[in-house]
Amino acid sequence: MTRKIIHVDCDCFYAAVEMRDNPAWRSIPLAVGGRPDARGVIATCNYIARRYGVRSAMSSAQALKRCPQLLIVPGDMARYREASAQVTGIYRDYTDLIEPLSLDEAYLDVSGQPHLGGSATLMAEEIRRRIREEVGITASAGIAPNKFLAKVASDWNKPDGQLVIRPCDVAAFVAALPVGRIHGVGPVTTRKLNSLGILTCADLARWSLADLVREFGRYGERLHALARGEDDRPVNPSRVRKSVSVEETYPTDLPDLEHCLAELPPLIDRLRARLVRAGEPAVRGLVVKLKFADFTQTTVEQSAQGVELARLACLLEAGYARQAQPVRLLGVGVRLAEEGQLPRQLPLFDTL
Amino acid sequence: MLILQAERDALLKPLLAVTGIVERRHTLPILSNVLVEKKGGEVSFLATDLEIQINTASPEALAGENFRLTTSAKKLQDILRAIPDKTMVTLEQQDGRLTLKAGKSRFNLQTLPADDFPHLTANQAAEASFSLPQRELRQLIAKVQYAMAVQDIRYYLNGLLLQTDGQAIRLVATDGHRLAFAAAEVETALPKSEVILPRKTVLELYKLLQDSDEPITIDLLGSQVRFSLGATVIISKVVDGKFPDYNRVIPLDNEKIFLIERAPFLQALQRAAILANEKFRGVRLVLKPGSLSILCTNSEQEEAEEELEIAYDGGTLEIGFNINYLLDVLTNLPLDTLQLAFGDATRSALVTIPDNPNFKYIVMPMRI
C-alpha cells in the first residue's frame, strides 16, 4: 500500500519563538546561541541573519564577524518546549503515528486517516495554518510516499511553504535530484560521487548494486534504494534517541594525533549545537570515533555528564593510540540517559 | 648489634607522620619502605612516593649507634602500634636484617640498603616564603579542601590552588560543579604567584597541621613547594597545569539574599538527605518570603519535606542542588550564621560569611 508521510519542519524554530515574543526582533538579524566571549555557538538564526551568512553551529564570534549588528539572545528551552508541545498537540488531531526528530521537526504517517477526505496535502496545509494561528510561528512541510522524500520535500519551498511528491511524480523528481540533497550524503561523499560522474540520482540509478557496494560499502545499498526514491523505514512513534553525534570526513587524511586534536574544537561546537537543537537531553557518556586511512574504525567511550573538551581529547588520544596511522574521519558524540527527565548537575565552567 | 633503644612513642609518633604517603603497591619496591637514620642523638624518618616526600625527627635525643636503613613502613608501623604504650623498644641490625624487641616480643624484618633509597631533592631558589600559625592554615584548608576533585581527568582540578599576592594568600578548590575559596593575610609582602598543590599533599599536610600557634613556613620553589612545621619537612611537586579562573564564576548579581542559621539548616538537610535519590542526590529548595523549604524524593517516590523560617522578603525561587554539595560547605564552616545568595534556577548560588570577604562557596544547581 502506498503510504502518506508528512515531514513538518518549523522554520528557524528558536528564533521564530523569540520573534513571536519580541516582535521588534522580526526586522533585525537575530540568533539564539551562546555568548561569543565564552566560545558560544549559534543554535538557530532568523532568515535576515542567514542573508549575512550566519548559520547554525557556527561559533558566535564568527557569526558576529559576518554580521556585526547580529543580536544573539540566550536560548530559553522552557518556552521552546512549550511551543513544541503545542505543535505536537496539533499533529495529534491528525494521526498518532508521530516520530519527533527534535523539538522542531517530526514525521507524521497519515495513511488511511479520514480527515479532509484523506488528502495529506490538505492536512499539511491545515497543520501549517494552525501552527501559524495557534502557536504564532511558521512551518514548512513535505508530503511524499516515504520519509526520505518527505524530508527532501519539506526543504524545497522553505520557509513557510510545502511541496507534494505524488507517487506518480517520484520517478521524475528523483531523477533530477542532485545527489547532495540526499540525507546522509555530505560534502565529501558528494565530491566522491561527482568525481565518478554521478551528479543526480538518475546518474546514481544507473550504477548496479554491486558496484555501489564496492565503492561505498554498506552505505552503497542505501544509495541504491534512495536513487530510486525507495525508503521503507516506518514512522516510529516510540523511537527513543539513544545518542547524538557529529562526524567529519576530511578531504585529506589527518597525519597525526596533533592534527586530530586540532580538529576537536569545531566538532565539539557542532555537537553542542546539535544537543541544543535536541532540547539539551541528559548526557550519560561521551564517544569518540576514528576511521583510519585503511578504513578500519574504532570507537572509545567513557561515562560523563557533559561535553568536555579535555575528556574528549583523552578519548581521542586513546583511540588514536590503537592504530597510530592517518585518520580520514573523526566523530564525537554523546550517549543519552535512558529517560529525558534524569537530574543533571550543571557545570561551573563552560569550557574546561 | 644493638643500634637503638627508645620508648615506643618516641618512634611511633614520628613514624606515623611520614608513613601516610607510602603507597602499598609501587613499581619500585623500596618505596614501600621507610628510611630510618640516626645521627648523633637524632633519629629521623623519611618516606616518599617520588611526588611528595616527608621527613621528620624524633623529638628527643635517643641512645644508640649511628645507622641508616630502610624497612617496610607498614610492618614497622603495625608492630609499633600493637605494642603497649611506654614499652621500651630495642632495634638490632645484623646481616641486612632488623630485629625489633619489646618485652617478650621479637620481630625479625628485612631491610634494603639506605643508599638505594630515592630522594626528592629540594630546588634551591625560593620564589616566595611565608609563615603563619599552623592553626590558621589548618582552618583555611578545612574551608576548601572538600571541594577538590577526585581522580578527575582534568588533572589540575585534583588539587588545591595556592595563590600569593601582596599580603594575601588564597586557597581555591573546585571539582567543576562547586568551588570553595578562602583567603587570609600574612605578615610578609609576597610576589604574585600561584601553584596547584596535589590532592594527596593537601590531605597529608592537613593531617600534620596542629591546632596550635606554632608556625608553619611555606616555600614556593618553582616546580616544588616545601612546608616546614616543627621537626617535619614536606617537599611536594606541584601540579603542572592551569587552574581555571575562579573570578569568572563568582556570581555578582544574585539578588535573592538572606542570612540563615547554619546548625538548623544543616540538620534539616541531613534529615531530608535520608530520602534523597541515592544516585543523583538531588534536593529541591523552595524560597518564599519568610520561608525556605527543603524537599527530597527518592526513586521509590518517598518524600521528605523540611521548612525553615528565614528573614527574607524577595521573590520566590525553586532550585535544585546535589545535596552533598550543600552538606559539605555547612559541615566545614564552623560559624553560626551564613549568607546565601541566589539568582535563578540555572545560575550558581553563593554562600558567604556575613561581612567577611575571605570566604566564598559557589555551587551550580542541578536540574531536577
Question: Does residue B25 belong to the interface with chain A, where contact is any CB pair within 8 Å?
Answer: no
CA distances from B283 to B141, B262, B277 (A): 27, 17, 9
Mean pLDDT in residue range B83-99? 93
Is A105 a known active-site residue? yes
pLDDT higher than 60, residue B77: yes
The pLDDT tens digits for A262-313 are 999 989 988 887 887 776 777 888 999 998 888 788 888 888 878 888 889 9
Are the C-beta atoms of residues B335 and B308 closer than 8 Å to each other?
no
pLDDT tens by residue, B13-53: 999 999 999 987 777 889 999 999 999 889 999 999 999 99
Report pLDDT for A352: 45
Cell for B85?
Answer: 604504650
First to last CA, chain B: 69
Of B273 and A245, the structure prediction assigns the larger pLDDT to: B273
Task: Find the mean pLDDT for residues A88-116.
Answer: 90
User: Which of these is catalytic: A18, A82, A99, A105?
Assistant: A105
Q: What is the mean pLDDT of residues A206-213?
A: 88
Residues A349, B176: C-beta atoms closer than 8 Å: yes
Nearest to A345 among B157, B179, B364 (CB): B364
A351 min Cα distance to partner chain B (Å): 9
Q: Which residues of A are annotated as a binding site?
A: 9, 104
Contact B265, B303 (CB under 8 A): no
Handedness of CA B260, B261, B264, B270 (dihedral sign): positive
B194 pLDDT tier (thresholds 50, 70, 90) = very high
Q: Looking at residue A304, what is its pLDDT? A: 80
More confident residue, B146 or A80: B146
Q: Does B38 touch chain A (CB under 8 A)?
A: no
Q: Are A348 and B348 within 8 A, CB to CB?
A: yes
- Is B366 within 8 Å of A346 when comparing Cβ atoms? yes
Count of CB atoms situated within 10 Å of the CB of B113: 11
pLDDT band at A340 (very low <50, low <70, confident <90, very high): very low
pLDDT exceeds 90 at position A66: yes
- Chain B residue with minimum CA distance to A303: B153
Q: Is the ipTM of this complex over 0.90?
A: no
Higher pLDDT, A236 or A63: A63
- Is the pLDDT at B357 greater than 80? The verdict is yes
- According to the model, what pLDDT value does residue A9 have? 95
Q: Is B273 on the interface with A (CB under 8 A)?
A: no
Q: What is the model's pLDDT at position A134?
A: 92
Range with top average pLDDT, A128-137, A220-229, A303-312: A128-137
pLDDT for the residue numbered B354:
95
Residue A233 φ/ψ region, left for φ over 0, alpha for ψ in the -120 to 50 degree band, beta for the rest = beta
Residue B204 has pLDDT above 60, yes or no: yes
* Structural domains of chain A ordered from first start: 5-13+78-167 (3.30.70.270), 21-75 (3.40.1170.60), 171-226 (1.10.150.20), 243-351 (3.30.1490.100)
Contact at CB, B244 and A347, closer than 8 angstroms: no
Indicate the pLDDT class of residue A43, thresholds 50, 70 and 90: confident
Q: Is A314 in contact with B277 (Cβ distance < 8 A)?
A: no
Q: What pLDDT shows up at residue A164?
A: 95
Which residues of A belong to the annotated binding site for Mg(2+)? 9, 104
Residue of B nearest to A340 (CA): B368
Shortest distance, CA A197 to any CA of chain B (angstroms): 48
Q: What letter represents residue A198's amino acid?
A: I
Per-position DSSP letters for B18-44, written without gaps between them:
HHTT--SS-SSGGGGEEEEEEETTEEE
How far apart (Å, rounded) are the C-alpha atoms in residues B57 and A94? 84
Q: How confident is the model at residue A322 (pLDDT cuts 50, 70, 90)?
A: confident
Q: Does A293 touch chain B (CB under 8 A)?
A: no
Residue A294 CA neighbour count, 13 Å, CB half: 5
Q: Between the CA of residue A93 and those of A79, A88, A97, A201, B11, what are the distances in Å?
A: 22, 9, 11, 36, 84
Quick one: what percent of chain A has pLDDT higher than 90? 49
SS3 B212: coil
- Residue bearing cell 616566595: B128
**Mutation to test the B interface, candidates A349, A351, A352, most B Cβ within 10 Å:** A349
Give the per-residue pLDDT at B330.
Answer: 97
| CA-based nearest residue in chain B for residue A309 | B154
Cell of A318: 586513546
Q: Which three three-digit cell numbers place residue A136?
A: 504564532
Which chain B positions have a beta carbon within 8 Å of A77's beta carbon? none
Query: CA dihedral in degrees (A311, A314, A316, A321; nearest 10)?
Result: -160
Given a cut of 80, is residue A339 above it in pLDDT? Answer: no
Question: Looking at beta carbons, which residues of chain A come within 8 Å of B177?
Answer: 345-348
Question: pLDDT value at position A238?
Answer: 65
pLDDT exceeds cutoff 90 at B88: yes
